[in-house]
Structure 1
Amino acid sequence: MHDTSMLSRALAGETVQWQARCDQRLLDVTAGPRRDAHGRAVGVAGVAVDVTAGVYERERQTAFAAYVPAAGFIRDAAGRYLWVNAAYAHLHGTVPGQITARTLEEVVRDGDVAQARALDQHVLARGRPLRHSMTFTRPNGDAVSVTGHRFPLETAAGACVGGLYIDVTGQVQALEERAAIEEELRALRDRTGAASIILTPTGRVVRATTGAADLLHTTVASLEGLPLQDLVIPSPPAAALTREWQEVVRGRAARRTMRLVCRTGHGGRRLIRAQLAVLRKGGRPVQVLALLSALGAEHQRPVELTPIQEQVLLRLARGEPNAAIAQAVAMSRQALDYHLRRLRQELDAPSRPAVVARAYALGLLDSTVWPPTLSRVPSTGER
């Protein structure tokens, strides 16, 4: 019916244009009167152009732009919305139909209008795209952060501004939370005097605090970059230390506590408690944090006690008399006197009370428990 009426208008002397469908194809038709040599209308002449591919392509592009995850808009120079997609409307908590044909002042909160207009005018005045990030407020009061491009467009409505943006609110919040956590860790590490070091999985110190440097009578610069084998004197044996370390690095233990004899900057040694925790990235262990605390004073030479001497020292600390100690370790009084003399020499202590005090100072006895126990016990860990 539509085609017939258009042909009738053409026969009546009018030039008309319309779109017609024929066998699943879309045609742009232009028709007008065909005249004889005297100018009289004697029929209709027309041209039909197949525009099927172009129209369908425009429809696909329109559908793609309408539902692409990036937020898109087109505004004229006066700030009136000519087109927005679903993602842009979602940023403002509404649907496209509630934004199109409205002005900036009707869509954007008052505090954000000046910013939007200034960016529009910047793009129109310079005639080239502008990449930038911005934050605005939704009607419900939530802050939204976006990043993308704003660019000039020539349309039937004249010079306009288009924009494509990605909502990065979650990423910005995550970065802010990460920065806050890092600041807390930095404060804990650098401002509280806590003794800590961070090591690579291969056991090289990458960061150390002044507290750790003070504990080991050295400097931060001397600690950083130092391999663990140059810091720790193997006691227990190196194989045991390696096994404990691998438990943490491979993620088999989330935390582990180890007693280590560490070299100091003065050329001595000190018994240290190291609480190890694995630091992960993407679920993969990437570093190890070690919190250090002293279990004994610094001393210049190793203290080597035999198992018998350790038992004698332990019973001295518990206040047992010589007769009871000799009976408990199954030795004569003369043999006990020999071991007591060796203890005084080894610990550089002139008396029985001084032997016990020195043993606590060097960390040979555990100062955290009663009755006294030896502190050289296997490492303990939590899986």
Structure 2
Amino acid sequence: MSTASSLSSPASPDGAEAATGPACRAFPPDAHGSRRRRTYTAHVSAGDTTVTAAEPEFAGAFGLSPGEICGRDLCDLLLARLPGSLRRRLADLSEGRSSCFTERVTGRDGTGRTFRGHLTAVAVADPDGPAGLVILLSPAEDREPPERQDGLTLSRLDAHVLEGVASGASTVQLASRLYMSRQGVEYRVGRLLRRFDAPNRPALVARAHGLGMFAAGQWPPRVLPHLVE
């Protein structure tokens, strides 16, 4: 199941990681019994920390279905060592004071069991303003890059547009950066949305991350060289 279609409508010094004990467990294995699993993705609204869409695997880590996790407050699902730190950093993203951050988190499922992971949040902009936040969640003990879809390549210009969208750049910023018109940027973004079967920019970014198109641990995001024609 693709990231786009399955989405229904280094640690920070103040990282949100709770103390662990016997109840702490790793992420569940995938369908093949392997723990080498790609990053799980979800969307959070730009105005608050409400989950608006999530992959089944993202929701399943918290013991929920995609329908059940939508409308839940992301910060209520995570245990924070410093209360309010994660909420404050997400607010900074929503209000444009930052564009991306990564920190260690501890989540809790419906049975009270906990799991550790790394959460990356990226602000994505639409022409009319903030479109929302893309949330990437990966097991703490497994930082392997996501699996890549073979045969997927982009033109150099499309790669630059995708990198800009993934870094949270607006249409105006991309037009200036790439020496294009606003209409040209929107045309390119529209083509990428159709190609990746993504309904909006956050879903496009989540889909690209899910396919392992970006170099691991690099900011701003860069499409892997061998995927650029």
Structure 1-normalised TM-score? 0.27
Normalized per residue, the structure richer in strand is: 1
Higher RCO (CA-CA < 8 Å; seq separation 6+): 2
Larger Rg: 1 or 2?
Answer: 1
Normalized per residue, the structure richer in helix is: 1
